[in-house]
Structure 1
Amino acid sequence: MGETDNSTMTDGSGVARGSGVSLWKQIAEAITAEIAEGRLAPGARLPTEAELAERFGVNRHTLRRALGVLTEQGVIEATPGRGTFVKEVPLHYAIGARTRFSEIVSSEGRAPGGRFLSSQREPAPRDIAERLKIPHGTELLRIEIVREADGVPVVCGTHWYVADRCKDLEFLVAATGSITRALEALGLGDYRRLETRVTARLADETERTLLALPAGRVVMVVESVNGDARRLPIQYTRSRFAADRVQLIVKS
């Protein structure tokens, strides 16, 4: 239950006590109005719970109910370790023959970024070998990376490459934070999308951590095969996009 009012009074907090309208609802409406009026821009970080509770003159329980409703409505988003933010318009991510994360993010007026996580060598399992059209057991280079837009994680990706065609690729990705620039350095910058498959599921614990997602959120899993100028597969990728932060657009 929220706080109850014993007298009608409007103070500097912007809420009217005793008005018959629950305080949590008034707080939610006040924050929504600030967003609509542009005083809180998309991507803006909200003050802390303590600061908001003091501003509105309410307890934490009442404030959290207001924030919870706004979260359910998709107005704001709380990300573990970062705070609560005004939801941005989903990133329009076009999937076509030439799909480049940095170019897509930049075209949306946002700053692209990347974090290299790890790399390792491993034999190709049958499913990936089939996608890359190589013998089962061929040595692959596996790279894990997170990509961001304006500092907000959008996608975590696992990339597999035929190791003998992409020597030192892991070091180039670690240095640049970019798959595209790393492949360009190896003369493979003109890679093209050969195949794309899209599914959706609940994010697992690792994905929630990497993408700063609360429990219960969905990821879109995009499996893709990219090839060189001769359409020879060089990369198989399994990307997990935060579903509410991106809109996938398939171009023909």
Structure 2
Amino acid sequence: MAAGDSSHFLDLLKMAGKGNEPQERGQARVRRFQASALNGRMICVPGGMRTPSVSAAMRNSLRGHCELRMTAVGTASKIRGAGRLMEPQWFRVYQAVKTAILVGELQAGSKVPPEFDLSEEYGVSRNTVRRAYLALSQEGLIRSVNGRGSFVMQRGMTYEVDATSRFRDVLDRQGVHSAVRLLESEYTEADEEIARILKVEPGHPLLRATDLILGDEVPFILTVRHIRADLIEDLEQKLKEANSLTLVARREGLGQLRRVSTTVEARLPTEREASLLQSPINAPVLLVYSAGGVDNGILLECQRAVMNSQRIRLSFQSEAR
């Protein structure tokens, strides 16, 4: 998003909102601004004011007729464009940055302008810009890294699911640093449902582990895993050290951990899930239920993965026969 384009857009909005219009016989004066796109230039009538070379995204944002009505004391009360009330300041900043991302002016991985720069450019407070960035983050468009700023997120990362695939490998192949954050772990016993899935008796000893899978500190997947504790001695500690059940199974001589079943459904997230995944509460998440076994045919684990559907696409691969 070119800085010049944003400033031209801002100049129009600032002029529209300055007010201090004198009263005229107790009636509010009405000034009309007509914006049109002509050969890459925005022309605002009246006043002969011209702003050259705005981007296509900005031209689309201003295309059409906007009627600015002034109150008796000269403050702008509403902008009518397609019958809409004037949008909040944070929403205008949000919409401008979102448009720049969607049309490719801001590429995935690039840094978005600092809060201070946008607050100066748009004539708003840093809290207003921060509110716009929060909305963009909740939509999965940007991510904030403490001490580094905010960056455009890669959207629609494809996870090709097969018997041995891991989402962390997908992240690593695309140059995104992957990590697993262990949120909770405790030894427990299998209830009837888990026992049925793992083909053990109810009450069988298990380790329940809740993990958050991240890429460049951005949460992608929240998993709850039930792992047979009788097959690996001191499982909880070994899992904490290795951060990978696949690696632990291999080290313990159980062989390759393979996915043997997968079921996918969708629903709205719980408040906790939305918070941990930094996902909008009204945006569906993917629920992926799976079971994994080792080389001797024993089922080692079953898990429920809650995936941010705005950041992950699933693609299922069939093994060659």
Partner of 1:93: 159
Structure 2: distance between partners of 1:131 and 1:102: 25
Q: 1:241 is paired with a residue of what secondary structure? A: strand
Q: 1:122 is paired with a residue of what secondary structure? A: strand
2:101 touches 2:152 (CA, 8 Å); kept in 1?
no
Q: Which has the higher contact order (CA 8 A, sep 6+)?
A: 1
Q: 2:289 is paired with a residue of what secondary structure? A: strand
Please give the TM-score of this superposition, normalised by the length of structure 1: 0.78
Structure 2: distance between partners of 1:103 and 1:78: 21
Q: Are 1:219 and 2:285 matched, yes or no?
A: yes
Which of the residues 198, 207, 215 maps onto 1:132? Answer: 198
Partner of 2:141: 76
Partner of 2:74: none
- AA at the equivalent of 2:303: T
Which of the residues 153, 171, 188 maps onto 2:237? Answer: 171
Partner of 1:116: 182
- AA at the equivalent of 2:253: G
Q: Are 1:238 and 2:297 matched, yes or no?
A: no
Partner of 1:54: 120
Structure 2: distance between partners of 1:30 and 1:203: 26
Which of the residues 256, 259, 269 maps onto 1:190? Answer: 256
Structure 1: distance between partners of 2:175 and 2:224: 26
Structure 2: gaps of 5 or more residues: 1-12, 19-46, 67-78, 80-88
Q: 1:236 to 1:9 in 2, by over 3 A?
A: same
Question: How far is 1:150 from its partner?
Answer: 2.3
Q: 1:92 is paired with a residue of what secondary structure? A: strand
Which of the residues 211, 221, 238 maps onto 1:145? Answer: 211
Corresponding residue pairs, total:
247
Q: Which stretch of structure 1 is more off in the superposition, 43-52 or 204-213?
A: 43-52
Q: Are 1:106 and 2:172 matched, yes or no?
A: yes
Question: How far is 1:127 from its partner?
Answer: 0.8
Please give the TM-score of this superposition, normalised by the length of structure 2: 0.63
- AA at the equivalent of 2:186: Q
1:100 touches 1:180 (CA, 8 Å); kept in 2?
no
For the pair shown, the structure with the greater C-alpha radius of gyration is 2
* Structure 1 segment 1-40 matched on structure 2, within 5 A: 4-5=16-17, 8=49, 10=51, 28-29=95-96, 32-33=99-100, 40=106
Which of the residues 157, 173, 184 maps onto 2:223? Answer: 157
Q: Which stretch of structure 1 is more off in the superposition, 184-193 or 42-51?
A: 42-51
Q: Which stretch of structure 1 is more off in the superposition, 55-64 or 146-155?
A: 55-64
Q: Aligned-pair RMSD on alpha carbons? A: 3.9
Q: 1:175 to 1:46 in 2, by over 3 A?
A: same
Q: 1:214 to 1:189 in 2, by over 3 A?
A: farther
Q: Which stretch of structure 1 is more off in the superposition, 219-228 or 116-125?
A: 116-125
Structure 1: distance between partners of 2:140 and 2:208: 37
Structure 1: distance between partners of 2:140 and 2:272: 25
- AA at the equivalent of 1:148: L
Structure 1: distance between partners of 2:152 and 2:109: 5
Structure 2: distance between partners of 1:213 and 1:30: 19
